[in-house]
């Protein structure tokens, strides 16, 4: 008796395809579902402002690092460049920024990317990909923070942001079957009695079980390199091929503060008032993140008539209030 084991040979397991099988891309455990198809663990990085004001456009930059010289196995078994994809899970109320509110600087960083909501009713979850990794290993998402005018129960708090990013094709389909971008193992123990190279690539490997005489035929799709030869004795689950996968998936998170603009202005005014009350003619301000409260602080300082020294991450400049344009 002959048993034939076959597998499907095409896989498109990018974050955007998770839409087809999962209502929510983030499981209750915190695991992002892309990891179900992309088995190798790889890094991903996300950069967002420390804080943002309501109804404000800002950048969320996702970096998916990998060696761009690497080539992956394509669906037809040939080698080609890696694509990348990402899923960004924002706080509820945050969403993709409207085109007419995106600055030219952010548009330039975005390139020709087109983002989608995970579901029509889940605008806070964005997906992108597959796109060429050679060009888009760094992806800039234009995000609009939530607007208190449209969300009555708004809270000025610290919120989590979750990201998943992959490079390269997946190894497993959502239905559990393998792609051709993974290792293939023997489905029986015995002797490799025959190896047939198929016309369009791939192999049929016949394994004769010495214990009962049955024959099992494992079908290997084009792509993985064969590791066994005829006459070789093999064990169950022994690798028949190499693992051609050079990609992988990673997930991470960040935090962002939704800043109350009135609180920022009040804090800045109080700080300047304290400086003036102490008779100081000079102030030094450390501006972090996106500079929230900066405009309010400058307005307050301008009225105070004192000299301001800004201490920035890489720049030290002195600005007189009279030089500020408001």
Q: Which two tokens stand for residue 250?
A: 């990673």
The CA distances from residue 130 to 80, 99, 113, 142, in Å, are 14, 22, 10, 18
- Do the annotations mark residue 34 as ligand-binding? yes
The vertex-81 CA angle with 79 and 86, nearest 5°, equals 130
What's the rounded Cα separation, in Å, for the pair 163 and 289?
A: 20
Between strands 57-63 and 138-144, the pairing is antiparallel
What's the rounded Cα separation, in Å, for the pair 229 and 206?
A: 11
What's the rounded Cα separation, in Å, for the pair 123 and 171?
A: 29
Number of C-beta neighbours around residue 217 at 10 A: 19
**Cis peptide leading into residue 130 (ω within 30°):** yes
The H or E element spanning position 318 is strand 316-319
- Outline where 102-209 has alpha helix (H): 104-110, 133-136
- Do the annotations mark residue 37 as ligand-binding? yes
Contact status, residue 244 vs residue 73, Cβ threshold 8 Å: yes
Contact status, residue 115 vs residue 90, Cβ threshold 8 Å: no
What's the rounded Cα separation, in Å, for the pair 167 and 321?
A: 49
Annotated binding residues for heme: 14, 34, 37-38
Q: Which residues are annotated as a binding site?
A: 14, 34, 37-38
């Amino acid at each position: 008796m002959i048993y034939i084991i076959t597998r499907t040979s095409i896989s498109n397991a990018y974050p955007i395809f998770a839409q087809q099988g999962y209502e929510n891309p983030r499981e209750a455990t915190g695991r992002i579902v892309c990891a179900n198809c992309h088995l190798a663990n790889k890094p991903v990085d996300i950069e967002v402002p420390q804080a943002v004001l309501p109804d404000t456009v800002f950048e969320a930059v996702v970096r998916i690092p990998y060696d761009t010289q690497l080539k992956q196995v394509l669906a037809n078994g040939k080698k080609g460049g890696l694509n990348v994809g990402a899923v960004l899970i924002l706080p509820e109320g945050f969403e993709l920024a409207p085109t007419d509110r995106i600055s030219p600087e952010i548009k330039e960083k975005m390139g020709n990317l087109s983002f989608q909501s995970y579901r029509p009713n889940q605008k806070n979850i964005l997906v992108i990909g597959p796109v060429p990794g050679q060009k888009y290993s760094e992806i800039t998402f234009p995000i609009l923070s939530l607007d208190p005018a449209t969300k009555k129960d708004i809270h000025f708090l610290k919120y989590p942001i979750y990201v998943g990013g992959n490079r390269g094709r997946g190894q497993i389909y959502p239905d559990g079957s393998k792609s051709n971008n993974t290792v293939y193992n023997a489905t029986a123990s015995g002797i490799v009695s025959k190896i047939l190279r198929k016309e369009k690539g791939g192999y049929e490997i016949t394994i004769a079980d010495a214990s009962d005489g049955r024959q099992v035929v494992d079908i290997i799709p084009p792509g993985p390199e064969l590791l066994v030869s005829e006459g070789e004795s093999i064990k169950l689950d022994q690798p028949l091929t190499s693992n051609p996968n050079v990609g992988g998936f990673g997930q991470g998170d960040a935090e962002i503060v939704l800043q109350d603009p009135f609180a920022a202005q009040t804090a800045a005014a109080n700080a300047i008032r304290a400086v003036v009350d102490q008779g100081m003619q000079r102030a030094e301000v450390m501006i972090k993140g996106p500079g929230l409260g900066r405009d309010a602080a400058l307005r307050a300082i301008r009225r105070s008539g004192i000299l301001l020294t800004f201490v920035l991450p890489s720049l030290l400049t002195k600005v007189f209030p009279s030089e500020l344009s408001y």
